[in-house]
Amino acid sequence: MSTPPRAASRSRGRLAVRLLTIAAVAFVAVSFRDRLPDPGEVWAQMTGAHPGWLIVAVTAEAASMRAYARLIRHLLGAGGAHLTLPRAVAVTYARTAVSNSLPGGQVLSVAYITRQLRLLGATPPLIAATLVLVAVSSTMTFLALGVVALLAEPATRVPVAWSLPVAALAVALAVRFRPRGAAARLADRGRRARSLVEGLRDARAAISLTRGDAVVLPGLALLNWLLDIACLAAVCLAAGVGVGPHTMLLGYVAAKAAGVLALVPGGLGIAELGMAATFAGAGMTGAAAAAVVAIYRLISYWGVLIVGWGAWLTLNVIATAGRPGRRPSR
């Protein structure tokens, strides 16, 4: 069975981006090998981290994952499906492990969580609506954090302060004078844009949101991000590194954005490079920056990955032994 031309083109494009990303990382590593921190210094800084703050970091990361699970559970409940919090947490960890460790993990994670929620009796429209609204809430709050980070950084404050009103005015004019044309152009931007528009439309029909949900949904999504940032802050304190809140926020946003744009599972290699470069540019020593990034990624990436695959194995064993009783969605 032949691969459609568009699918083949997208696959080649993703492969090219990944190869370019790997080549860029290798180039930076070779070009700056004389400036890289001494591994012995990095290891000494990591092993000398304060254990109390490390416990705080692990707790904050676990609470971040729990907030994401609560977001999924809240939306399913609004659609009439029942999901216990422990099960929601397990599914969240397993989904994250699939997304962050496998090629094409984002697509596979959607298929995985869809299967898990269908086993619990959630209908396909409700599952699709939940995933769309979770993605929209998470993306919008992350963009808001990005704007705050850019406004807090003195080097980017003025350009961003000028560009935001201009962008807002352009959007307002487009909505005011060409609403139908703008919607049509958006719908014609490709499969992803059309899927998003259709998904938002279907979500309104599948889930009955209240006025309070307008606060709860972005609140849980923002809490997910803030607790992850709290993990990074605790790691900085554990390593005895002083870094300003705006620098830490900018490094965090830069790392997450770079990881997503690089199309590498979990942003592996790119996220570390972006965060370390931001911290080093703010005056942190190379050894301190490398130690902070290494400890943070051990907790937020590798730790979550280990727990996630454990949750995946547990959920599959449970599903094999006997599926839980279904409660049909209303």
> CB atoms < 10 A from the CB of 1, how many?
3
Say what the pLDDT of residue 319 is: 59
Count of beta carbons in the 10 Å neighbourhood of residue 281: 13
For 230-272, what is each residue's pLDDT tens digit?
A: 999 999 999 988 788 888 888 888 888 877 766 666 667 777 8
Convert the pLDDT of each residue in 25-58 to its tens digit. 554 454 445 456 677 788 888 888 899 999 999 9
Tokens 């809490």 -> residue:
223
**Interatomic CA distance for residues 205 and 39, integer angstroms:** 55
Would you say 13 and 21 are in contact if contact means Cβ atoms under 8 Å apart? no
Q: Which tens digit of pLDDT belongs to each residue from 63-116? A: 999 999 999 999 998 888 888 999 999 999 999 999 888 877 788 888 999 998
Cα separation, 33 vs 45, whole angstroms: 20
